[in-house]
């Protein structure tokens, strides 16, 4: 392909990049297949009871005919995490589509009313919100460590023969990184960083999502 005004130097570099992108696509597909081929993980240690205004058990999060559940662990300490907020800002619009095939919810270790108030302030309309204040889900699935530090993670569970089993968590959150890298553990689900990765400046190392921004101009 050629685009208006491009130089031979640009086209040669772009063709090299295209070949690398094709290899990345192959690798991405191969990793996705490897992930799908994982054997079932462990049975959940207890049928966790979450709060969504009334108690709901984890097994009850599976709608009839949908045997997969994705839970996102939202970091909420004294205040809601700006990065988690930006992440769910994007996902809220996708929930209507996702839940045609799977079950999806966002879990925070904060009282449900505080979490709901934050959701209202962001205009979230579709995402299912759960509080894990009264259970050990966060600690059991490494969304909170022994010192109480919270971690943003995506978890996948499957319902098989009436038993809820763990299938996947974004463990790359804890994997070593080379200098200048980002964890990228949930980035496959996050449009923000994927768009930035297409630009000349990339995602950078100094800019992070905020709960509010000063007026532009």
How confident is the model at residue 188, as a pLDDT? 92
- Count of helices and strands (H, E) across the chain: 6, 7
Averaged pLDDT of the chain = 96
> What are the CA-CA distances from residue 72 to residues 9, 84, 174, 191 (Å)?
44, 9, 16, 16
Give the phi and the psi of residue 164 in degrees, each rounded to 5. Answer: -90, 125
pLDDT in tens, 118-157: 999 999 999 999 999 999 999 999 999 999 999 999 999 9
- CB within 8 Å of 121: residues ≥ 6 apart: none
Confidence category of residue 180, pLDDT binned at 50, 70, 90: confident
**Strand order from edge to edge, sheet including 55-57:** 55-57, 49-51, 129-131, 103-108, 68-74, 153-160, 163-169
Report the distance separating Cα 52 and Cα 72, nearest Å.
15
Asked whether residue 217 carries a pLDDT value surpassing 80, the answer given is no
Residue 52 contacts residue 112 (beta carbons within 8 Å): yes
Asked whether the predicted pLDDT for residue 205 surpasses 90, the reply is: no
Average pLDDT over residues 12-39: 97
Domains of the chain: 49-172 (3.40.30.10)
Whole-model pTM: value is 0.94
Residues 6+ apart with CB under 8 A from 85: 118, 122, 209, 211
What pLDDT is attached to residue 201? 93
Quick check: 28 pLDDT over 90? yes
- Tens digits of residue pLDDT in 165-174: 999 999 999 9
pLDDT level of residue 181 (50, 70, 90 thresholds): confident
Per-residue model confidence as pLDDT tens digits over 61-116 = 999 999 999 999 999 999 999 999 999 999 999 999 999 999 999 999 999 999 99
């Amino acid at each position: 392909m050629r685009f208006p005004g491009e130089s031979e130097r640009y086209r040669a570099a772009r063709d090299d990049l295209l070949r690398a992108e094709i290899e990345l696509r192959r690798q991405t597909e191969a990793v996705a297949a490897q992930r799908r081929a994982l054997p079932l993980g462990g049975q959940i240690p207890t049928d966790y009871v979450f709060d969504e205004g009334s108690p709901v058990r984890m097994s009850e999060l599976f709608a009839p005919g949908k045997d997969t559940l994705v839970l996102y662990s939202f970091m909420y300490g004294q205040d809601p995490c700006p990065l988690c907020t930006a992440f769910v800002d994007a996902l809220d619009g996708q929930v209507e589509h996702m839940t045609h095939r799977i079950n999806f919810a966002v879990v925070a270790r904060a009282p449900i009313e505080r979490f709901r108030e934050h959701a209202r302030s962001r205009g979230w309309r579709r995402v299912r919100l759960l509080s894990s204040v009264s259970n050990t889900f966060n600690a059991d699935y490494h969304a909170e460590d022994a010192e109480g530090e919270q971690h943003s993670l995506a978890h996948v569970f499957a319902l098989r023969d009436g038993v809820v089993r763990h299938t996947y968590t974004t463990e790359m959150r804890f994997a070593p990184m080379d200098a200048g890298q980002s964890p990228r553990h949930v980035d496959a689900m996050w449009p923000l960083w994927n768009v930035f990765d297409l630009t000349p400046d990339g995602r950078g190392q100094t800019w992070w999502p905020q709960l509010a921004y000063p007026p532009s101009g």
